[in-house]
Amino acid sequence: MHFDEARRIALSCGINLMEEWGKSGFIKKEKEFIKVLGPQDRKPKDLEDSSEWESETPVELIDVLHRILPLWEKGKRDEMVGYLQESGYGKSEAFYRVVQAISETLSSEDKEKKLLDGFLADRERLREEMREEQLQMRI
């Protein structure tokens, strides 16, 4: 997407593109174009920086999503449930609504859409696993 168009859209959502693209986040600038990266486009190192998870700064929703989708794909449920709990997004209905909205914008052949749809189809089971894990920690 051309920078000017992307900037207008981002500003309408309260996002300053110029503050975001220099980070190791999901927005990249290539010449006069802005690209929104999917989980497959991001470096695992950028998503696994534990200092962000241990700090007082909230972890961004998209970073959590991009971190758990590869785990979902690889069947690493325990690790995925742990990240969802640790971030606080696992219990957030807004998180699942954003995931649904992203899925609806992607074409049916898109790999990310298939991962998102699989994740969404299993969200009640994931929530139950998070409740069980929380009960285990209390005991």
Checking if the pLDDT of 48 tops 70, the result is no
Rounded to an integer, what distance in angstroms lies between the CA atom of residue 70 and that of residue 39?
7
Q: Tell me the whole-structure pTM to 2 decimals.
A: 0.76
More confident residue, 10 or 50: 10
* pLDDT at site 58: 58
In the structure encoding, which two tokens stand for residue 81, read together? Answer: 């449930």
Using pLDDT thresholds of 50, 70 and 90, give the confidence band for residue 29. Answer: confident
* pLDDT at site 97: 93
Q: Which long-range contacts (CB under 8 A, 24 or more apart) does 129-138 make?
A: 129/77, 129/81, 130/81, 130/84, 130/85, 130/90, 130/91, 133/81, 133/82, 133/85, 134/85
When the pLDDT of each residue in the chain is averaged and rounded to a whole number, the result is 83
* pLDDT at site 24: 66
Checking if the pLDDT of 54 tops 70, the result is no
Question: CA quadruple 114, 22, 34, 41: dihedral positive or negative?
Answer: negative
Mean local confidence (pLDDT), 98-116: 93
